[in-house]
A and B are shown apart, each in its own frame.
Chain A
Amino acid sequence: MNRIKKAFENKKAFIPFITGGDPNLEVTKKLLIAMQEAGADLIEIGIPFSDPIAEGVVIQAADERALAAGCTTDKLFDMVKTVQDEMNVPIVFMTYVNPIFAYGKRKFMKRCVECGIAGVIVPDLPFEEKEELAESCREYGVELVSLIAPTSHDRIRMIAKEAEGFLYCVSSLGVTGVRSEITTNIEDMIDKVREVTDIPCAVGFGIAAPEQAERMAAVSDGAIVGSAIVKIIAQYGEECVPYVKEYVKKMKDAVLRA
C-alpha cells in the first residue's frame, strides 16, 4: 500500500498544512516534528509562491513572509531531507504549477523522492491539464493529488476515477481561509466519489474549530486545516511551536471523535 493511503488506514486522518519557511526553515522543521508528535497523520507543506491565487489573505501573507525570509524550493528540499529519518507520517508538498515547472518537472520529482516527499497537491492544475506533471510524477512514483470542488458536479466521477493518494475535497467556494460555516453538501460530493473509487477523501478549506473538523471527518476520511494553523504561526512567530502542537492535538482528538 502506498504511504499516503496508509495515513488513512483504519482511522480518520487529521492533516495540517503549514507554509514552508514561515517564519523560517528552522521553525518549519520543528513544526513538522511537533505536529507528528501531536498526532498529525499526513502533513502538507506549502512551497511559498509569489502569486498564490487559490489562497486567502492568511496564507498569502505566510507566502510573503517565507519568501522575504529567503525560503527557496532548494532550501525547503534540503530542510525536509534533514528531517526525513525522524518522520513516520507522509509529507506532501502543496504548491502552484509554476514553481515545479520552473524547477524542472523531472528534477523536482527526483528531489521529492530523495527527500521523502510522498506526493504533490497543485491547486492550479485541473484534471484537463494534469498530464503537465503526471508523466514525471509517474516516473518517480510521486503521487499527484487531485481536488474536487463544490462546483465540480458532473466532473467528480471523472476526476475521482483517476485520483491518486487521497482526494482533496474543497469544502467551499472561493479561496482558503477560516469560515464560520461550511454550507456545501459534502456527503453528496463523497457519494459521487464512492460510485467510482474507494480512495480516501479529506475535506479542506474553511475548517478551524474542532467541531467543524469533527463534522467534516464524520462524513469523509479526514480533515485538512491550513489557515487556522498559519494564523497561530503568524501570531507567535518563532515561539509558535508549542501553540501549534497544542492546537493540532485538539484537532486530532476532534477528528478521532468523528
Chain B
Amino acid sequence: MSKGRFGGYGGQYVPETLMNAVNELEEAYEMYKNDPEFQAELADLLKNYAGRPSLLYEAKKMTEDLGGAKIYLKREDLNHTGAHKINNVLGQVLLAKKMGKTRVIAETGAGQHGVATATAAALMGMECEVFMGKEDTDRQALNVYRMELLGAKVHPVTSGTMTLKDAVNETMREWANRMDDTLYVLGSVMGPHPFPTIVRDFQKVIGQEIKEQMLAKEGRLPDAVIACVGGGSNAIGAFYEFIPDEEVQLIGCEAAGLGIDTEKHAATIAKGSEGIFHGMKSLFCQNEYGQIAPVYSISAGLDYPGIGPEHAMLAAEGRAQYVPVTDEEAVEAFEYLSRTEGIIPAVESSHAVAYAMKLAPEMGRDKIIVINISGRGDKDVAAIARYRGVDIYE
C-alpha cells in the first residue's frame, strides 16, 4: 500500500534497494517525533545554536513606501548559517545520530543546504559528503570551500544538466550504494515518503513562530503569508500552521526566470504537469515523453524542475496560490529591500519580496502581509553585480 500521500501526490517511488532504508527512516522518525528527550535536544539546538526564534520585523519604511498593507518580514536570514535550511538539518542530523548512523550525505544547489548539513555534521561529529552539480560548484566556489572548511567532502556531479536535479540523482545513487551507516539528509519537502513530512515538520516552526509573534504584536492573524518556492521547504514551513486558518491567504512565488513564455524558467506549478520523479508523484517541468526539462532561474535555490507533493496538493485544492516571479523582478526586489530596509535578502527570498511589492499597494492599510525572508543575500551579491553588468569576483 502506498504511503505518504498528500491528496493524490507523494508516495515512495524509489528502487527496491532503498525501500528498507526509507522504511527504517520512517520508523525512527515516528518514534523520535514523540520522544520528549529528542524534542528537548532539538529545541535546545534551535534556540542556542541556530538562534531561534527568528525575529518578526515590521518593515515600516517599506510599508510606507508601498502605501498599502502593513508588511512584516520573518527573518529566517538571521539564523545561524543564514537561512531556514538549518531548522531541517539540525532535526535530520540529530535523527541520524539517534539512528546510530555515522555519516550523512546531501544534495545541494547553490550550496545553502550543503553548508547547513556540513555545519550540523561538524557540530554532531558526523562524517559528511555533499553532492553538487559541476555547474553549481563552479558558480558557487565560495560555498564549496565553506563546506570543506566545515569538514565535508564535496563531490561535483557531472551527469545530466550538472545542476540540482542531477545532484539529487547522485545522492540517491550513493544512498543505494551505502545505507548501513549513512542517512540521506534531504534539503526540501520533496523526495520519497517520509522526507516531505519530516522536512515539513522540522520547518513548521517558522509558521508557528509567525502566528505567535503576530498575535503578540497585532492581536490577530495576518491576511497573507508570502514565501518563495523551489522544492518548497521554507514555504511549507511558513504556511503549515496557517492551513486551517482559511482567512489567511498563502502565496508561493515560483521562479519564472526569463519569463514563463520562454523556455528559461523553473515555474513548476504554472507550466509543469503531473509526473513521478525523485521518489514522488507531483508536478514537474517535463516534455511530452516525461523527460525532465532543464530549468533555469537566476536563483540556484529555486532552480529545480519539481515541487514538493504537499504544495501540489495545496495548489490543486486552491488552498494556496502560486505565482511566477521573473529574474528581473527578483533582482529589483533584492535591491529594493537592501536600500529601503537595510536588509539584503537571498535572491530566492527576493522572489517573495517582489510579489509582495505588487500585492501590498492593492491591499488596504488595515491589511497585514508577512514575507518569509528565507535567507540572507550575501551569497548572491557577486551574481547580482554581474546581472547589473558589474564584473566582480567572489
Contact B159 A101 (CB under 8 A): no
A-B contact pairs, 15 of them (CB 8 A): A49-B291, A51-B165, A51-B292, A74-B289, A97-B276, A98-B275, A99-B289, A99-B290, A126-B13, A147-B16, A151-B20, A155-B19, A173-B176, A174-B17, A175-B173
Which residues A62-100 have CB closer than 8 A to chain B?
A: 64, 67, 72-74, 97-100
- For chain B, give the interface size range: 35 or more
Q: Closest Cβ of chain A: how far from B104's Cβ, in Å?
A: 18
Closest approach, in angstroms, between the C-beta of B160 and any C-beta of chain A? Answer: 6
Q: A53-B173, A129-B2, A131-B2 are in contact. Are A98 and B277 (CB under 8 A)?
A: yes
Query: Is B228's beta carbon under 8 Å from chain A?
Result: no
Q: Judging by beta carbons under 8 Å apart, are B16 and A60 in contact?
A: no
Q: Which of A1-30 contact B (CB under 8 A)?
A: none
Cross-interface CB contact of B169 among A51, A97, A151, cutoff 8 Å: A51
Bound together, the chains give a CA A64 to CA B176 distance in angstroms of 22
Interface centre among B3, B21, B286 (most CB of A within 10 A): B286
A101 touches B15 (CB 8 A): no
**A37–B292 alpha-carbon span in the complex (Å):** 36
- Known pairs A67-B291, A129-B2; A54 contacts B176 (CB<8 A): yes
In the complex, the answer to whether A53 meets B169 with C-beta atoms within 8 Å is yes
Complex contact A153–B20 (CB within 8 A): yes
Residues on B with beta carbons closer than 8 Å to the beta carbon of A97: 13, 276
Among the listed B13, B160, B176, B179, which residue makes an inter-chain contact with A50, where contact means beta carbons less than 8 Å apart?
B160
- Contact between B290 and A101 (Cβ–Cβ < 8 Å)? yes
Q: How far is the CB of A79 from chain B (nearest CB, A)?
A: 15
Q: Which of A57, A128, A129, A155 contacts B159 (CB 8 A)?
A: A57
Q: Is the CB of B176 within 8 A of A174?
A: yes
Main secondary structure of the interface of B (DSSP, over half): mixed
Chain A residue at minimal CB-CB distance from B23 = A155
Interface centre among A53, A73, A147 (most CB of B within 10 A): A53
Inter-subunit contact A98/B290 (CB<8 Å):
yes
Contact A150 B17 (CB under 8 A): yes
Chain A 137-181 per-residue mask, 1 if CB under 8 angstroms from chain B, else 0:
000000000111111110100010000000000100111000000
Q: Is the CB of A149 within 8 A of B15?
A: yes
Q: Is the CB of A102 within 8 A of B20?
A: no
A123 touches B (CB below 8 Å): yes
Docked CA distance A72–B278 (Å): 21
* A125 in the interface (beta carbon within 8 A): yes
In the complex, chain A residues whose CB is within 8 Å of the CB of B160: 50-51, 60, 64
- CB < 8 Å: which of B15, B274, B278, B286 contacts A126? B15
Say whether B11 faces chain A, with CB atoms less than 8 Å apart.
Answer: yes
Q: Is the CB of A98 within 8 A of B19?
A: no
In the assembled complex, B172 has its CB within 8 A of some CB on chain A? yes
Interface contact A128-B291, CB-CB below 8 Å: no
Contact B276 A98 (CB under 8 A): yes
Chain B residues closer than 8 Å to A103, beta-carbon distance: 289-290
B16-A129 in contact (CB<8A): no
Are A98 and B292 in contact, with the CB atoms below 8 A?
A: yes
Contact A151 B179 (CB under 8 A): yes
**Is B40 in the interface zone, CB < 8 Å from A?**
no
CB atoms of B15 and A54 under 8 A apart:
yes
- Quick check: is B327 within 8 A (CB to CB) of the other chain? no
B348 beta carbon closer than 8 Å to chain A: no
